[in-house]
Structure 1
Amino acid sequence: MSKENKPVPGSELLDRGWHLARTPLEIDVTEVEYALMRSYEAFGRWQAECLATVIEFSATGAENALLHVIRMNDRPKTIHDLAHMTNREDIPNIQYSLRKLIKGGFVKRTGSGRTGVTYEVTPLGHRVTERYADIRSVLLIDAVTRVPDLAAKLADAAHTLELVTGIYEQAARAAATHRRRHPQLDPEAEGD
């Protein structure tokens, strides 16, 4: 057994099985999913707190992410660019976030429905994202450099997450394709 596949000492004392984790592989996948959920929430809190150190503006992690994606490469983005780049389909929520960022003075909308609407950062948005990057470097990047070998593992982690994203996307398409109409589950039914 390789070093990577050896169980963590004491892990046999833990009950890792539940309805989504019935086999060893299901346990591993479920633990990754649970870690992703917790990481996503921690990432959102980090984004909100880092932005709050720059400017007094209440933004969710997703709104903060949109601001930085709009700033990316300093070129305007359409709403479809933003949805594609963030792997989101919730256009009404993206529109709400854009209105909030526009009202805050960080983003401006240019064009029209006829010519095409794009979004770009304002001078304030540029200053805020620059300051955010400075604080991110001091607090986050410095912390990453202090964990032995973590910096070297980040590229592999990003690649693995992209692969897993593709697997989830394919599984979601398959589930949507094969979805059947079914009667409501009877809460009184047992053993079905």
Structure 2
Amino acid sequence: MDTPSKILSSAHLASESTAELSELEYALIIAGNAFNRWMARCMSAAGVKDMTPVEVSLLHHVCHRERKKKLADICFVLNIEDTHIASYALKKLVKTGLVTSQKVGKEAFFSATEKGYELAQAYRKVREECLIPLLSDTGLSNQSLGETAKLLRTASGLYDTGSRAATSR
């Protein structure tokens, strides 16, 4: 019986012992790009065009639990290495009235405005109308989605550790 071929984007990186890793990396690339496209288009359908995936992620995180958040904490939780990217995106969100910034000492704290919360809820509505039915059509269970999320968080930790090792070489 023939073994199914692996789906690789970088066959030159795969060896017999790492074909599955290359397959995972390819899946991460295409899933990441698809998710970024989804976030931007879902936000557009929710009413705001031309938001970047970073801006969408930041808005959702700033809305999370309705707490004020520092830039460093936002970057840490979302695993954003370049704080300038997050800072620039937050300034754009402040300028559009979706997020507010409050200075406490030397630190700026960000929180969503009522307009920001309303937009996040509109995004949720589009998500539930467009994405949730697709999930049930695939037969994916909430449990399998949770297990996949755990695997991705674990992989993220491996790549973070690998990044530190590569940096110290």
TM above 0.5: yes
Aligned twin of 2:165 = 174
Aligned residues: 168
After superposing on structure 2, the runs of 4+ consecutive aligned residues of structure 1 that deviate more than 4 Å are 14-17
Shift of 1:141: 1.6
Match of 2:13 in 1: 20
Q: Report what 1:190 is aligned to.
A: none
- Is the Cα contact below 8 Å between 1:106 and 1:124 reproduced in 2? yes
Structure-1 separation of matches of 2:9 and 2:52: 32
Counterpart in 2 of 1:100? 92
Structure 2 unaligned regions, length at least 5: none
1:53 aligns with 2:64: no
Equivalence for 1:182: none
Change (3 A) 1:20 1:106: same
Alignment of 1:149-188 (within 5 A): 149-177=140-168, 179=169
Contact 2:8 2:26 in 1 (8 A): no
Choose the corresponding residue for 2:109, options 118, 124, 127. 118
Contact 2:11 2:22 (C-alpha < 8 Å) held by counterparts: no
Q: Separation in 2 of the partners of 1:83 and 1:106?
A: 18
Over the aligned positions, Cα root-mean-square deviation in angstroms equals 2.1
Q: Between the two proteins, what is the percent identity of the paired residues?
A: 29
Distance 2:60 2:122 in 1: 12
SS in structure 2 opposite 1:111? strand
Give TM-score scaled by structure 1 length.
0.81
Unaligned runs of 5+ in 1: 1-5, 180-192
Q: 1:94 to 1:16 in 2, by over 3 A?
A: closer
Aligned to 1:188: none
Deviation at 1:115, TM superposition (A): 5.2
Q: CA deviation at 1:170?
A: 1.1
- Contact 2:9/2:26 (CA < 8 Å) preserved in 1? no
The alpha-carbon distance between structure 1 residues 53 and 167, as it changes in their structure 2 partners (threshold 3 A), is: same
Q: TM (normalized to structure 2)?
A: 0.91
Residue equivalent to 1:84: 76
* Helix, strand or coil at the partner of 1:89: coil
What code does the residue aligned with 2:29 have?
Answer: M
Select the structure that is richer in helix: 2
